[in-house]
A and B are shown apart, each in its own frame.
Chain A
Amino acid sequence: MFKTRVGKKEFFNSVIAIIIAIIFLFPIYWLAQISFKSDAETFGKVLTYFPHEFTFDPWLVNLTDATFLLSLRNSFINAACTMLITLVLGVPAAYGMGRYKVPGSNVFLLTFLVSQMLPASLTLTPMYLIFNKIGLLGSHIAAPVAIAATSIPFAIVTLRPYFKSVPVALDEAARLDGCNSLRAFISVMIPAVKTGIITIIVISFLNGWNDLVFSMTFNVGAEMRPLTANIYKFQNAYGTKWNCIMAYGTILVIPVILLFIFLQKYIIGGLTAGAVKD
């Protein structure tokens, strides 16, 4: 009796989950399937839901582009640097603000929030002028420094509640064991909020990966540009040749999906562990 009720619930939940997945993933399938269509089919009178004439041509056009591998590397550098800066600066700050009540904490929080409020059109020119002065322009780190300025506040705002919800006893026990505050933070607090930290890792990495405006403005040379910056090139050159554009779009999305599939095990592991055991 009990068993079947659980089974029924599992079944209904699964059906709903699959429907949600179809709705959310269909556009991505759409993106990918167009990239295997011939020009004629792309512009055909009838909208087809899968390529009737399968071709790799749109892919070859993009993959053989001279700067493809370099751009791929640059995208990874952008993403990794952004993630690093965000973790190193954002996580301690979130802890500091979640755990301690210090004078001026509202000023800090406001500053971090304010930095999320500046639109790119406002920051581009003055940032360029500063980076030019301090010699960051044309280096791989210029764009990450700017992008991190938006992911650090994000990390602080989202992690702060996590740190607040960790029992103080945990922290104090570590200190009694002779840890200083830094050690206590690293060895006790960070593992305690690992779910949140994984979220920050994923999101700051993606912020770096997906950035368009900053990397485009701070780095002009082809050897410095990430994949996203090339989309303009292809958009101008192809117009609505959707198959070629979508092939490039798919190329941009694939590494993200791969990375995610690899990380997902940990993300979901982290999430359920928190839910079941604690």
Chain B
Amino acid sequence: MKKILALMLTGAMCLSLVACGGNSAGSTDNSNTDSGSAAQESADTPAAPAADSSNTEAAADSSASGSATEVELWHYFDASNDKEAIIEWVDEYNTLQNDIHITATYVSREELMNQYTIGALSGELPDIGMVDSPDMASYISLGVFEDITAELNAWGELDKFYPGPLSSCMDSDGNLYGLPQNSNCLALACNMDLLKAAGYDHMPTNVDEFQEMAAATTDTANGVYGFAMCCISTEEGTFQIIPWLRSNYNGAGVNVDNLTADSAVHGLGVLGDLISSGSMSKESVNWTQSDAFNQFVAGKAAMCEVGTWHLAMTGDINGAFEYDFCLLPTGSTGTSTSTIGGENFGICTGADNKAACVDFLKWLCSKEKEGEWAVTAGKIPTRSDSVANYDYEQDGFAVFVDEMNYAQARGPHPEWPTIGEAIYTAAQAVFVDGTDPADALSKAMETIAPIVAETPLP
């Protein structure tokens, strides 16, 4: 047996060595062509039956449409609803016109960001690209997206878009590089059974009551915490922490360029107290938003900071308990506050047939399509004239639509990632090390102040 293996090996080595013997350039090229041809073969044979449907269909269509420019669209929709919808929609658009033929490719969010960064240098970019709204400013600054201000102004529908989401597609001079396709924000989900058991028949109306309820619903023996949120060391954590920093205290709220203000210190202090009193798990510093929501679904968190898209996942609760949604709590005066999230689409630098790609963008973000998408994906339209007829969780959506009125966009700022890091670091210092909120936030301001001094937040 050993001999056979040794022989096989020797044979393989022989072949490759002998083959490169005739090639004085060295075996580098040789091994490349070897495996290259193997790769080619497998590419030539039709893909396995489970091949990505968008690709196979794309190939079939292109032969029919002939003159259309081939256009590549990258997205990171990964929930089952929107993942399928984007493919259907692109196919629909392909049949509507003959200028471009779009192929939609899924690229996970992490990778997509890397691809844009590297693509900015190499010029290897898709034609149409999706991006998370707070990151757009950075990619605009990196030159990933084309300035399409003129085309969009000529369209005449820009005034229908909500200013927050639209602003995330602009550079500091107000030029537009894309359109917001959907938006979302954060609100509070409550396990009504747990609240009732603790003696409350309503959801929290302000921060003080929220703290009280969180303490009352905590049941350490059963592993139930009063509140769950995500404070992970990524942009997701920043997204969920900001509303607490901005919430009102003594009638005043602030922006993230003034984090040493009393209201911000108080807001972070509220969360810090929840951790130190055991009403919130320290593990929130490692939880993503899905993780925090999973805790809520499992009945291990009485209240949870959730995003609009979680509404589409409430089916997981499966009748285990009564739940409801309300605005994020704030001080006894003033309004609630939240953070805007959402996805933008832009035309990438060097795109083929830019004008036709802009037309697709206009179609994708038209009044009707925005409304349809919001229903499909569990998001909120970015246009005031779009109507989304949610066929599930009507009441839940009403809360989020209301919360949108008080929600603020992150940035836009090309150095937002650095600002975001300073924010989640401050929060983690309070949660993990028990640092005083005022100290943690003034440390964050040491990073943020010079950045906003150079390019102010809008």
Contact = CB atoms under 8 A, between A and B. Distances in A.
A–B proximity contact (CB within 8 A): yes
B394 interface: no
A197 B5 CA distance: 11
A236 B290 contact: yes
B17 A88 contact: yes
Contacts of A237: 78-79, 290
Interface string B83-123: 00000000000000000000001111111001101100110
B157 interface: no
B115 A220 contact: yes
Given A43-B298, A239-B293, A84 B47 contact: no
A213 B136 CA distance: 23
A265 B27 CA distance: 32
B210 to A, nearest CB: 24
Interface string A164-190: 000000000000000000100011001
Contacts of A236: 78, 108-109, 288, 290
Contacts of A270: 2, 5
Contacts of A187: 10
A69 interface: yes
A84 B31 contact: yes
Interface stretch (B34-42, B192-200, B408-416): B34-42
Interface stretch (B49-57, B338-346, B385-393): B49-57
Interface in B1-59: 1-2, 5-6, 9-10, 12-14, 16-17, 20-21, 27-28, 30-32, 34-36, 38-39, 42-43, 47-53, 55
B122 A223 contact: no
Contacts of B14: 186
Contact of A217 (B1, B42, B55, B114): B114
Interface stretch (A4-12, A15-23, A102-110, A123-131): A123-131
Contact of B36 (A91, A92, A139): A139
Contact of A85 (B1, B35, B42): B35
A222 interface: yes
B402 interface: no
B343 to A, nearest CB: 14
Interface in B289-304: 289-291, 293-295, 297-298, 300
Nearest to A88: B16
A241 B16 contact: no
Contacts of A256: none
Given A222-B55, A240-B294, A66 B35 contact: no
B239 interface: no
Contacts of B13: 87-88, 91, 186, 190
A198 B6 CA distance: 9
A222 B300 contact: no
B291 A239 contact: yes
A77 interface: yes
B316 interface: yes
A124 to B, nearest CB: 7
B287 interface: yes
B74 interface: yes
A247 B140 CA distance: 39
A66 B124 CA distance: 26
A270 B9 CA distance: 13
B63 interface: no
A84 B53 CA distance: 32
Nearest to A137: B124
B108 A67 contact: no
Interface size class of A (residues with CB under 8 A): 35 or more
B51 A85 contact: no
A182 B48 CA distance: 41
B105 A220 contact: yes
Interface stretch (A111-119, A140-148, A154-162): A140-148
Interface in A18-75: 39-40, 43, 45, 66-70, 73
Contacts of B105: 220-222
B121 A129 contact: yes
B46 to A, nearest CB: 11
Contact of A141 (B27, B35, B50, B109): B35
B288 A239 contact: yes
Given A40-B298, A125-B118, A128-B118, 13 more contacts: A70-B47, A70-B50, A87-B13, A89-B31, A182-B17, A190-B6, A190-B10, A190-B13, A194-B6, A223-B55, A229-B108, A238-B290, A266-B2
19 contacts: A43-B297, A66-B52, A67-B52, A69-B50, A81-B38, A84-B34, A84-B35, A125-B118, A128-B124, A129-B121, A137-B124, A191-B10, A194-B6, A194-B9, A233-B108, A236-B109, A237-B290, A239-B289, A240-B294
Interface of B: 1-2, 5-6, 9-10, 12-14, 16-17, 20-21, 27-28, 30-32, 34-36, 38-39, 42-43, 47-53, 55, 74, 78-79, 105-111, 114-115, 117-118, 121-122, 124, 222-223, 287-291, 293-295, 297-298, 300, 316
Going nearest first, the 8 A-B pairs with the smallest beta carbon separation are A239-B290, A140-B39, A43-B298, A81-B35, A222-B52, A239-B291, A69-B48, A240-B291
